[in-house]
């Protein structure tokens, strides 16, 4: 990635937002297709044409449940000079891979006061996509403005909105998959179009839930929930007595799905996350002392149990297409008086991380 990240402001109708996205990130979207084509071939023995065919199964679902986001995907494909199935495939990549992609990720929400929370995450994925990440703002009539970090071509991911609602994501490897339900990246976008945690949950439930097993940590200034989602049943995790919700890449309470232990470091990271936060609490850290710098320095740069650490390193024993490392860290202040986020690209503690970038940006 260049020293300065891609920052993109999108506004207008759904088609206009998509068209701007596709035109601005045409090269990055095409790069994503090449990267994921290699990954699908290795993990699932699917050619990109096979992937497009599976993606088309989601077209009726998107048309029925989220027509505005299908129009946006059509705009992205038009702007990038691609078939809409290419863009739908990127937005459904978690579902098409049937849990065979090896995303990591460690997420944390911490209550600062009755009307303030910090929501934070390291996002771990293959280093090849780092150059295709973008900081995106989306302005839509009648909806909160969204600020998120996303992959080129993908309509929803990790970030917050001007109503103070934020999202983080942890991938889960478990079957089944149901193409009649919402792809997880579409579900993230719907959360980011919501005005509260309750609104986000109501929206997902009213549309019939999600297509694959995943965890969304969603929060606003007064509420946080860990949504352990699956097409066959959900569980919601509330914050603990310390005002914390932490999550990695396995379900804590959801037993509706058959989930093999697929990432051995996930339970270790979750336990380590609990240890580090409690250590800070015992030192008297609370309220305004829970800063973005504190979280980066004392939690998200932690290298315990490397390479499968909170600050994740590439594992040389894995195939090159499925090696993960921490590609960015985001810390969001969900507080109406200080609403915003700080983003650092690269693995914290490596010496190669970027400067701190703020959302919104001027």
Residue 229 forms part of a structural domain: yes
- Is residue 6 in a domain? no
Looking at residue 56, which CATH number applies to its domain? Answer: 1.10.10
3-state secondary structure (DSSP) of residue 161: strand
Q: Do residues 167 and 196 share a domain?
A: yes
CA 291/CA 295 separation, integer angstroms: 6
8 A C-beta contact, residue 101 and residue 93:
yes
For the chain, give me the number of helices (H) and strands (E)? Answer: 11, 14
Q: Residues in the chain with pLDDT < 70?
A: 1-2, 98-103, 262, 321-322
In a domain, residue 4? The reply is: no
51 and 134 fall within a common domain: no
Final residue belonging to a domain, choices 96, 130, 160: 96
Residues 202 and 57 reside in one and the same domain: no
pLDDT of residue 97: 78
65-115 confidence digits (pLDDT tens): 999 999 999 999 999 999 999 999 999 999 987 655 655 799 999 999 999
Q: What is the tens place of the pLDDT at every residue in 258-294?
A: 877 767 889 999 999 999 999 999 999 999 999 999 9
Q: Is 52 contained in some domain?
A: yes
Instruction: Specify whether 53 is located in the same domain as 138.
Output: no
Structure tokens at 190: 């719907």
> Domain check: are 68 and 145 in the same one?
no
Is 231 contained in some domain? Answer: yes
Q: What stretch of H or E contains 77?
A: helix 67-80
Domain enclosing residue 67, as ranges: 12-96
Cβ neighbors of 361 (< 8 A, separation 6 or more) are 7, 135
The token pair that represents 295 in the structure block? 């979280």
72 and 135, same domain (yes or no): no
**Claim to verify: residue 72 and residue 126 sit in the same structural domain:** no
Are 110 and 91 in the same domain?
no
Here the CATH number for the domain that contains residue 236 is 3.60.60.10
137 alpha carbon, distance to own chain's centre: 15
pLDDT at 1: 41
Is 203 part of a structural domain of the chain?
yes
Query: Does 40 reside within a domain?
Result: yes
Q: What is the pLDDT of residue 314?
A: 87
Same domain, 91 and 136: no
Residues 26 and 53 in one domain: yes
Residue 130 and residue 329: Cα distance in Å, rounded? 12
**Same-domain check for residues 263 and 117:** yes
Distance from CA of residue 19 to its chain's centroid? 22
What's the pLDDT at 15? 98
Beta strand 6-11 pairing with 133-139:
parallel
Last residue of a domain, which of 96, 124, 143?
Answer: 96
Residue 111, in any domain of the structure = yes
- Domain boundary residue among 74, 96, 118? 96
Q: Do 233 and 92 lie in a common domain?
A: no
Look at the chain and report how many structural domains it folds into: 2
pLDDT recorded at residue 98 = 63
Whether the pTM exceeds 0.95: the reply is: yes
């Amino acid at each position: 990635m260049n020293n300065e990240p891609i920052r993109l402001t999108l506004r207008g109708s759904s088609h206009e937002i998509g068209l701007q996205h596709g035109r601005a990130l045409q090269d990055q979207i095409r790069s994503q297709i090449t990267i994921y084509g290699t990954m699908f071939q290795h993990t699932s023995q699917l050619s990109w044409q096979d992937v497009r065919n599976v993606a088309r199964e989601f077209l009726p679902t998107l048309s029925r449940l989220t027509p505005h986001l299908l129009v946006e995907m059509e705009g992205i494909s038009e702007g990038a000079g691609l078939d809409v199935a290419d863009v739908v495939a990127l937005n459904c990549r978690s579902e098409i891979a049937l849990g065979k992609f090896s995303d990591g990720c460690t997420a944390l929400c911490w209550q600062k006061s009755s009307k303030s929370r910090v929501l934070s995450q390291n996002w771990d994925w293959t280093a090849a996509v780092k150059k295709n990440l973008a900081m995106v703002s989306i302005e839509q009539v009648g909806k909160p403005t969204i600020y998120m970090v996303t992959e080129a071509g993908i309509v929803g991911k990790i970030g917050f909105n001007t109503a103070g609602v934020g999202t983080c994501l942890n991938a889960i490897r478990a079957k089944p998959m149901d193409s009649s339900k919402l792809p997880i990246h579409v579900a993230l976008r719907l959360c980011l179009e919501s005005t509260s945690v309750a609104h986000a949950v109501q929206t997902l439930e009213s549309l019939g839930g999600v297509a694959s097993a995943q965890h969304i940590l969603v929060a606003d200034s007064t509420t946080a929930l860990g949504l352990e989602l699956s097409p066959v049943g959900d569980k919601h995790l509330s914050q603990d007595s310390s005002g914390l919700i932490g999550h990695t890449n396995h379900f804590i309470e959801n037993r509706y799905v058959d989930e093999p232990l697929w990432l051995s470091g996930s339970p270790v990271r979750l336990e380590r996350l609990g240890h580090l936060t409690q250590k800070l609490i015992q030192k008297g850290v609370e309220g305004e002392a829970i800063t973005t710098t504190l979280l980066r320095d004392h939690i998200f740069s932690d290298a315990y149990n490397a390479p499968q650490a909170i600050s994740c390193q590439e594992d040389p024993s894995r195939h090159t297409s499925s090696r993960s490392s921490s590609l960015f860290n985001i810390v969001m202040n969900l507080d109406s008086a200080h609403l915003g986020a700080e983003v650092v690209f690269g693995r914290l503690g490596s010496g190669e991380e970027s400067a701190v970038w703020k959302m919104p940006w001027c």
